[in-house]
Amino acid sequence: MTTELISSRYADLDLWTTGEAVQAMLEAQLAAAAAVQSQAAAIAAAAQAAADRLRGGTGRLIYAGSGTSGRLAVQDGVELGPTYDWPEQRTVYALAGGMEALLTSVEGAEDDGAAGEAEIDRVGAGARDVVIGVAASGRTPYTVGVVRAATAAGALTIGISSNAGTPLLEAAEHPIFLETGPEVVAGSTRMKAGTAQKIALNVLSTATMLRLGRIYKGLMVDMRVSNHKLQQRAVEMICAISGVDQAPAARALGQAGGKVKLAALIALGSGPDVAARLLRENGDDLRGALGEVRSQLAASHARPTSEEGPAMSRA
């Protein structure tokens, strides 16, 4: 496994100055980022397939891994809730050793392939689900067990590894090979391999949310408004989308219960019920719903008759 090799370049690392060592580590991090670039097409294909599988249903994202890889996978999944309002019940974690392994090492858990298979059976993974298995080595029995069982159950499977031709990549329908090579500190895959995994996971999940209509014009229009900073950001988004001032945008956000997409349509003159219906009919896609609202306004030649009027006239 290339991730476990000892690099002669760093054989005297402990004799280098701290500045030299840090510089070498930073250069390695840049190389890790570059390794992801070669997998752009593979990541895009996986994201599109994931979105197609998850769209309009109850399918789940199931993240699997152990150690550093598992923790990075969990981090990616956890952040989808506040950022894109992805429901918690549609995110599942298959972590070797259980969630306890987030904070402490659970010895031997990653070697139990049968436990990985059993976890997929326990959560009832099936054809509506997407399973993302992450392992720097590509050989971790637990993670390979998860992905093999998930593939057999009909789930869409994605494998992320830093070693080519490994069981994880062979078991996954969408293999993503991140060629990060030997680490500065031999075997410390939380460094280069971990960085590449984090980038790949970030891009994969963001592209999936993009294709699911949870991003509009580069804006997080499905984010959860959970504090004052995010409320102000939501108001600014509504202003940008609907062309209204902050006061009517804030009122629309209140009427929408903090939902930015709904508020943007309300700010243009739609009633809350009509706005909700338009989003449903357009598969929760804001662009499509906005197009309908603007077409209706243009067809009716609406004139400002209330405080909402100027917003309608700018639609």
Q: What is the CATH number of the domain that holds 35?
A: 3.40.50.10490
- On whether the CB atoms of residues 191 and 184 are closer than 8 A, the answer is yes
Q: Examine the fold and report which residue of 211, 246, 277 is the final residue of a domain before the chain moves on.
A: 211
| Residue 47 scores a pLDDT above 60 | yes
| Residue 315 scores a pLDDT above 60 | no
Q: Is the domain of 186 the same as that of 140?
A: yes
| 301 pLDDT tier (thresholds 50, 70, 90) | low
82-98 pLDDT tens trace: 999 999 999 999 999 99
152-183 pLDDT tens trace: 999 999 999 999 999 999 999 999 999 999 99
Residue 216 lies in a domain: no
Residue 221 lies in a domain: no
pLDDT of residue 181: 92
Mean pLDDT of 204-233: 96
Mean pLDDT of 116-131: 97
Q: Is the domain of 207 the same as that of 232?
A: no
**Other C-beta atoms within 10 Å of 280: how many?**
10
Neighbouring-strand partners of residue 160: 134, 176
Residue 217 lies in a domain: no
HEC profile for 14-75?
HHCCHHHHHHHHHHHHHHHHHHHHCCHHHHHHHHHHHHHHHCCCCCCEEEEECHHHHHHHHH
Q: In what order do the strands lie in the sheet with 130-134?
A: 91-95, 61-65, 130-134, 156-161, 174-177
Can you list the alpha helix ranges (DSSP code H) found in 98-218?
Answer: 113-123, 141-152, 167-171, 192-211
* CATH number for position 301: 1.10.8.1080
Mean pLDDT of 259-272: 95
| Residue 307 scores a pLDDT above 60 | no
Q: Examine the fold and report which residue of 159, 181, 211 is the final residue of a domain before the chain moves on.
A: 211
33-43 pLDDT tens trace: 999 999 999 99
Q: How many domains does the chain have?
A: 2
| Residue 21 scores a pLDDT above 50 | yes
Q: Is the domain of 238 the same as that of 140?
A: no
| Residue 282 scores a pLDDT above 60 | yes
Q: What are phi and psi of 92, to 5 degrees?
A: -130, 145
| 303 pLDDT tier (thresholds 50, 70, 90) | low
* Ramachandran category for residue 244: left, alpha or beta (phi over 0 → left; psi -120 to 50 → alpha): beta
Question: What is the overall mean pLDDT for the chain?
Answer: 93
| Residue 79 scores a pLDDT above 90 | yes
pLDDT of residue 313: 38
The conformation of residue 8, written as its DSSP 8-state character, comes to: G
Q: Is the domain of 92 the same as that of 166?
A: yes
Structural domain harbouring 130: 2-211
Cite the active site residues.
Answer: 79, 110
Residue 194 lies in a domain: yes
pLDDT of residue 310: 44
Can you list the alpha helix ranges (DSSP code H) found in 93-137?
Answer: 113-123
Q: Which of 195-204, 259-268, 304-313 has the lowest mean pLDDT?
A: 304-313
Q: Is the domain of 68 the same as that of 24?
A: yes
pLDDT of residue 314: 39
Residue 222 lies in a domain: no
Instruction: Give the span between the Cα atoms of 151 and 168, in whole angstroms.
Output: 11
pLDDT of residue 50: 98
Mean pLDDT of 146-151: 98
Q: Is the domain of 175 the same as that of 284?
A: no
Q: Is the domain of 19 the same as that of 101?
A: yes
